[in-house]
Amino acid sequence: MAQLSVRKLVVNYGNVTAVDGISFEAQAGEFVSLLGPSGCGKTTTLRCIAGLESASAGEIRIADRVVAMDGREVPPEKRGVNMVFQTYAVWPHMSVFDNVAYGLRTHRRPVPEVAVRVAEALQMVGLSGFESRFGTELSGGQQQRVAVARAIVMAPQLLLFDEPLSNLDAGLRERMRFELVTLQRKLGRTSIYVTHDQSEAMVMSDRIILMNGGRIVQQGSPRDLYERPVSRFAAEFVGSANLLEGTVVAQHQAGYRTIRVGDGIELRGRPARTDEPAAPDGRVLVCIRPENVQVVSDNPDGDNVFPARVARVSYLGAALNCDLSLGTTVLRVDLPTRSGLSEGAEILVRIDPDDVTIVPDDA
């Protein structure tokens, strides 16, 4: 039984379609991210699940109970879900304790139970001892933790996160990512997490739903999305990628194909999806991740070995980020720092055919 099921959800604002008929499910205990650029409909989808926004059409079920269908809906307070907001929404006129206790008191839980459950929730987020502070006396990270405690204290059927880390500074954001994931694993609550930060989605999610223009582009595990993007958008949005336009010139066993790109370079690779229908004119995109290009010594065997000239080198500490010219084709690659390349060097590079992903050219 899916904990959350969204079917053919449509949201229109006047003439604008923010969400265009998307369907997905989340299993119990799963951590699912809605990832996409701003305006892709991810936040609108999340707010529809929460009941804060009305669906124009479609159906939403939470724990197999219909909460929205054909414009009728269960109001947010009766859905048994809770949300961590981007701006935290910690009530400034209440103490930390009152903030977290709010939902329990709303449901008229007995005083001793409220005290115990609030203490548990605060301990869980590492805010024990802050009970009597007010929202305005807390740092951004602490407000974030209050918001999380307030969301988990009610043991909701769904935990919703609306870009909760985007207002934190970089260091804290990294730390909170891991804390949130650890907490979610410990609680085992089904979580839907909205973000525009692909690295955040990669680190945290069991499954990523990539959205663009109100539709789902691709969904799958982080590895799936990174290694086998289904379109130019998916390849560009998740991680960085060299995308080269080319044409299929030969087909081989086990799905490998030879693609000609640029001024005659022939690359061997394979499609992201085995069931991919080839475009009639054979035009495709080739996706090569920067870390998948290796420098090799003279005279190696195998496919995809090319001479290259180092056109630019930037020192990044962990790696050297270089532009390599393969004839007229330029690849941006990450090479080990110890390779010690300098601009103008002539080298040989090899790209494993399994790392050359063929993507349909949809643009």
Partner 1 sequence: MTMRSALAMRAPRARQSMPQRDMSELAGLLPRQQLRRFIMPVSLGLILSLLVLLPIFFMFLGALRSAALADPAGHFTLVKLRQVYTTLPYLRMLGYSLAISGGVAAMATAIGVSLAWLIARTDIPAKRLMEGAVMAPLFLSPFVGAIAWLILASPRAGVLNVIVSELLGTRAFSINISSPGGILFVMTLYYIPYAYLTVSASLRSIDPSFEEASYLNGAGVLRTALRITLPVVRPAILSAFFFIFVLTIGTFAIPAVLGRGAHVPFLAVDIFEATTNYPIDYGKSAAIGTLVFWISLAGVSFYRYASKAARRFVTVTARGYRMRLVRLRGARIPAVLLVGVYVLLAIVLPYLALIYAALTRFTTANVLSAPWTLQNMVDVLTAPEVTESISNTLLVGFITPTLCIALGVCLAYAIRRLRVPGGRLLDYVAMFPVGIPGIVFATGIFWTYLLTPIYGTIGILIVAFIAAYLPFAYRIGDTALLQIDRVLEEASSLCGASHWRTASKVTLRLMRPALLSAWIMVFIFSVREVSAAILLTSSDNIVLSVLSWNYLDYGDVQKAAVIGLLQTVILMIGVVIGRFVLRVRLSRPA
Q: Which residues contact partner 1 by CB under 8 A?
A: 11-13, 50-54, 56, 65-66, 69-79, 81-83, 85-87, 89, 91-93, 102-103, 106-107, 147, 150-151, 154
CB of 221 to partner 1, least distance (A): 29
CB of 192 to partner 1, least distance (A): 13
Q: Which residue is associated with the tokens 């805010």?
A: 127
Q: Round to whole Å and give the CA distance between 248 and 157.
A: 49
CB 193 within 8 A of CB 31: yes
Of 157 and 247, the one with the shorter C-beta distance to partner 1 is 157
Token reading at 217: 């582009």
Of 84 and 308, the one with the shorter C-beta distance to partner 1 is 84
Of 154 and 320, the one with the shorter C-beta distance to partner 1 is 154
CB of 334 to partner 1, least distance (A): 36
Of 145 and 257, the one with the shorter C-beta distance to partner 1 is 145
Task: Compute the residue count for the chain.
Answer: 363
Of 50 and 259, the one with the shorter C-beta distance to partner 1 is 50
CB of 112 to partner 1, least distance (A): 20
CB of 188 to partner 1, least distance (A): 20
Please give the order of strands across the beta sheet that includes 293-296. 293-296, 346-351, 305-315, 319-326, 329-336
CB of 186 to partner 1, least distance (A): 21
Of 107 and 338, the one with the shorter C-beta distance to partner 1 is 107
